[in-house]
């Protein structure tokens, strides 16, 4: 197994920038970008990491994958909605690389596998950051990234272990699993439920998400929907790493201040508020697809999936309305 000497990050949002900014302290860090200005600034100024880390990392950036040479590790850190375009751009390049995907939800590995023969590592991350500019990211939540060989065309355990060690040496937190699906599915069930309900109701993660006294209480819906998701996971033979309902209760009870005014705004809610396409196909939609494959019912997921698709469609309506 070749040692990792260079890494290429695709998708330099908050998560991608955190990886590039940290890993560049150990190996050569490269970033595949889409804008000339982004390329120029990263090459000139490098990447500054503030917050939980204090780093100034040189970066080699380009809009052309050919200019980035060979790397041993590619990290695709785009949103799930942009993975296909990212994988297309990588197609035909980096023949010796392993690809690690760190999206929310399920199914991004399958998309990547269609565009190249790279061995794949499935990763999920719990860290968070704020991208202040093209060249400055703030490291906020210093929680772990979990990785394991993809259940499809997976990278070797040794390679996965090496990537985890590299991430840790660079100052981030990581943990390698032989099978990351129990963790991936815990997060999938949790996110599919709270994200879609938050987006449909325009509510961030407030205490009501865990309140279940009456039939129409939001927490009852969260509970029932998570139960559905848990049944889909169980039917796959996956034993969840963490109970999604307990994750939900924990998330609403020990916020920074315990105050609903500081409730977490889900990424899907943020997307809906900005009228950006959401990741619903990789979250709630992924559970619907898996349930259909297994022939088990998931009516509440189907309902929330339909509602979010309807919300996305309504923006198109507005555009048409403006044109006519």
Partner 1 sequence: MKVCVVGCGAIGSLFAAHLAKLEDVEVWAFDVDQDHIDAINANGLRLSGESDVHSYPKATSNPSDIPACEFGIVATKSLHTRAAIESTASVFKDAAVCTVQNGVGNEEIIAEYVPRVIRGTTFPAGHVVEPGHVEQDTGGKTWLGPFEPKPATMAEIELLAERLTESGIETLAMEDSRGAQWTKLIFNAATNPIGALTGLPHGVACDQPAVRKVISGLVAEGVAVADAMGITLDSDPDKLVDHAREVAYHHKASMLQDALARRPTEVAALNGGIVKFGEQTGVPTPLNQAIWALIEGLEHSWTRDD
Residue 213 binds partner 1 (CB under 8 A): no
Region near partner 1 per CB under 8 A, out of 87-95, 177-185, 248-256, 311-319: 311-319
Alpha-carbon span 91 to 105, nearest angstrom: 23
Residue 286 binds partner 1 (CB under 8 A): no
Toward partner 1, which CB reaches closer, 40 or 224?
Answer: 224
Helices (H), 94-243: 108-113, 157-169, 181-201, 218-235
Toward partner 1, which CB reaches closer, 2 or 313?
Answer: 313
Residue 166 binds partner 1 (CB under 8 A): no
Q: Cβ of residue 311: shortest distance to partner 1, in angstroms?
A: 5
Region near partner 1 per CB under 8 A, out of 46-54, 67-75, 181-189, 210-218: 210-218
CB 172 within 8 A of CB 24: no
Q: Binding marks (x or -) toward partner 1, 170..199, rule CB under 8 A?
A: ---------------------------x--
Alpha-carbon span 257 to 247, nearest angstrom: 18
Toward partner 1, which CB reaches closer, 109 or 228?
Answer: 228
Of these, 92, 152, 258, 310, which contacts partner 1 (CB under 8 A)?
310
How is residue 180 written in tokens? 């990351």
CB 157 within 8 A of CB 149: yes
Of these, 201, 241, 242, 276, which contacts partner 1 (CB under 8 A)?
201
Alpha-carbon span 75 to 83, nearest angstrom: 11
| CB crowding 285-323: b at 16 or more within 10 Å, else e | bbbbbbbeeeeeebebbbebbebbeebbeeeeeeeeeee
State the number of CA atoms in the 13 A half-sphere of 187 facing the CB: 17
Residue 200 binds partner 1 (CB under 8 A): yes
Q: How many residues bind partner 1 (CB under 8 A)?
A: 31
Write out the binding residues for partner 1, residues 288-307 only, by CB under 8 A: 299-300, 302-307
Of these, 42, 61, 71, 218, which contacts partner 1 (CB under 8 A)?
218
Of these, 56, 220, 235, 249, which contacts partner 1 (CB under 8 A)?
220
Residue 225 binds partner 1 (CB under 8 A): yes
CB 144 within 8 A of CB 127: yes
Residue 208 binds partner 1 (CB under 8 A): yes
Residue 224 binds partner 1 (CB under 8 A): yes
Q: Cβ of residue 242: shortest distance to partner 1, in angstroms?
A: 24
Toward partner 1, which CB reaches closer, 208 or 243?
Answer: 208
Residue 221 binds partner 1 (CB under 8 A): yes
**What is the layout of strands, in order, in the sheet containing 174-176?**
60-62, 28-32, 6-10, 73-76, 98-101, 120-125, 145-149, 174-176
How is residue 239 written in tokens? 């034993």
Toward partner 1, which CB reaches closer, 88 or 317?
Answer: 317
Task: Name the strand (E) or helix (H) holding 284.
Answer: helix 284-294
Sequence-distant (6+) residues with CB within 8 A of 271 are 199, 277, 278, 279
How is residue 273 written in tokens? 């508020």
Q: Binding marks (x or -) toward partner 1, 245..274, rule CB under 8 A?
A: ----------------x---x---------
Applying CB under 8 A, which residues contact partner 1? 197, 200-204, 208, 215-218, 220-221, 224-225, 261, 265, 299-300, 302-307, 309-311, 313-314, 317
């Amino acid at each position: 197994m070749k040692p990792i000497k260079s890494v290429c990050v695709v998708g330099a949002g908050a998560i991608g920038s955190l990886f590039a900014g940290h890993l560049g302290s150990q190996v050569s860090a490269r970033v595949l970008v889409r804008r000339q200005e982004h390329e120029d600034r990263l090459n000139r100024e490098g990447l500054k990491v503030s917050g939980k880390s204090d780093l100034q990392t040189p970066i080699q950036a380009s809009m052309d994958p050919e200019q980035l040479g060979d790397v041993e590790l590619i990290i695709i850190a785009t949103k799930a909605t942009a993975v296909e375009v990212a994988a297309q751009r990588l197609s035909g390049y980096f023949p010796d690389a392993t690809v690690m995907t760190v999206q929310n939800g399920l199914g991004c590995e399958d998309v990547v596998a269609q565009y190249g023969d790279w061995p794949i590592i499935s990763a999920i991350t719990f860290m968070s950051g704020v991208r202040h500019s093209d060249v400055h990211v703030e490291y906020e939540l210093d929680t772990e990234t979990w990785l394991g060989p993809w259940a499809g065309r997976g990278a070797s355990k040794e390679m996965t272990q090496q990537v985890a060690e590299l991430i840790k040496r660079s100052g981030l937190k990581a943990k390698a699993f032989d099978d990351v699906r129990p963790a991936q599915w815990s997060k999938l069930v949790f996110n599919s439920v709270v994200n879609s309900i938050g987006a449909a109701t325009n509510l961030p993660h407030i205490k009501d998400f865990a309140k279940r006294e009456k039939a129409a209480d939001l927490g009852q819906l969260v509970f029932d929907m998570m139960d559905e998701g848990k049944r889909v996971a169980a039917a796959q033979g996956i034993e969840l790493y963490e109970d999604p309902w307990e994750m939900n209760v924990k998330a609403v009870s020990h916020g920074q201040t315990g105050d609903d005014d500081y409730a977490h705004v889900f990424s899907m809610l943020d997307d809906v508020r900005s009228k950006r396409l959401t990741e619903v196909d990789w979250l709630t939609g992924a559970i619907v697809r898996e349930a259909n494959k297994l022939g088990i019912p998931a009516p509440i997921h189907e309902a929330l999936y339909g509602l979010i698709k309807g919300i996305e469609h309504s923006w198109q309506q507005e555009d048409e309305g403006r044109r006519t």
